[in-house]
Structure 1
Amino acid sequence: MEMLSSLEQRVIGCLIEKQVSTPEVYPLTLNSLVNACNQKSNRDPVMNLGEKEVQSVLNTLIARRLVNNVAGFNARAAKFQHRFCNTEFGELQFGPGELAIVCELLLRGPQTPGELRSRTPRLHAFDDVTQVEACLQSLTDKGPFVVKLPRQPGKRESRYAHLFGNTDYAAAEVEQESGGQDREAELQARIHELEAQVQRLQARLDELEG
């Protein structure tokens, strides 16, 4: 299975979010999905996608069997649901806390455990940051499906990023953390480790799709 593009991440993230937070309106029509993709809250970056763009992404995801149209033959409007994870026969299975974290990372990019806890109540209520960290560790052990990024200057917590799509930002943050030539060896080691994690995840996803 290929990695998800930024638009595919947004569509999958929105479908997961609405499945959990508003099951009464899920699966989503194209119009509802466009609105979800373009929300100004809980989205980073904020997008302004049109129906044609979202439909094109859906067509690609349907071809990859990551989304399907569940509307009946005579239905007036198509309705879409994801098959990214937690399907009956799929091997990619996440618990409620893990799913909430994956969803948030798909929708907003890298975040700290504290940020994830504050942004996931509508998806899953974590009692404390320790529970978030436990889920992040589980996602790391399973795939790895997430990676811990270098701590940014002036920040108390490190951010975590998912590994389902482009990870150039992770390598860039590692490079920014390097203070000079004396850190070059450490920098290269971290980049190689990140690349190895992505390769392992790619192999795992290939097995799931096969």
Structure 2
Amino acid sequence: MAALKYSKRIREQRAKLWPDVDFKKQLWHRKRNDGFTTIPRTMALIISIIDDLTKGGPAGKTYFELWCRSFDEMYVSLSKPKELAFCSGFIGQRAERTWAEKIRKLAELGFIKLQSGQSGPLSHALIMNPYLVIKKMHEEGQPGLSKEKYRGLQDRAHEIAATDLDDDYLEDDEDEETATAPPAPTVPEPSLKKAVPKKAVAKKLPIRPLRAAKKKDAA
């Protein structure tokens, strides 16, 4: 109910501020438009932290492009390096090489894991939880990680109720496979009761009425 009231209040304020905008036609909406993904609300700060950690060759855009191509499994195929490089902002003769350098750096920092395949050493990528990666860096004193930005990440995570940086993160959560798998169908156990034979019922014969004996004629 509170969310509905907030949404209504924002829509009313938006209409007053931009009365000349057709909101349905001119704005993007996740329930109306296709081609979107889910991201943490802290993504901009996470990308900024990645850029700080990869100074001289910031890899934030490369990371974000990987995220935008992933689904809930957080897997990305790297079989189209030229396309991935272009969408990450790299053009020219060295585009693919520059992109590959960013990918290796992201893997080195722990933001992704790589596996080889038909496309060579960079064929498959798995995106790790960025909160946990950055938290580990903070605990280990990773050079290049700004203390101010880490505190900012903590504060923002608290504001949006993200518990990824908490010490008890996921302790009470179900396993991914358990949480998403449909319940197994229940099969009724066979009955162990012996079948009780029906009692034999004797067929009732129709009762014919007795005929009265005919009287003999008098001699």
* Interval of TM-score (by shorter of Structure 1 and Structure 2): 0.3 to 0.5
Q: TM-score, normalised by structure 2?
A: 0.36
More helix by share: 1
Bigger radius of gyration: 2
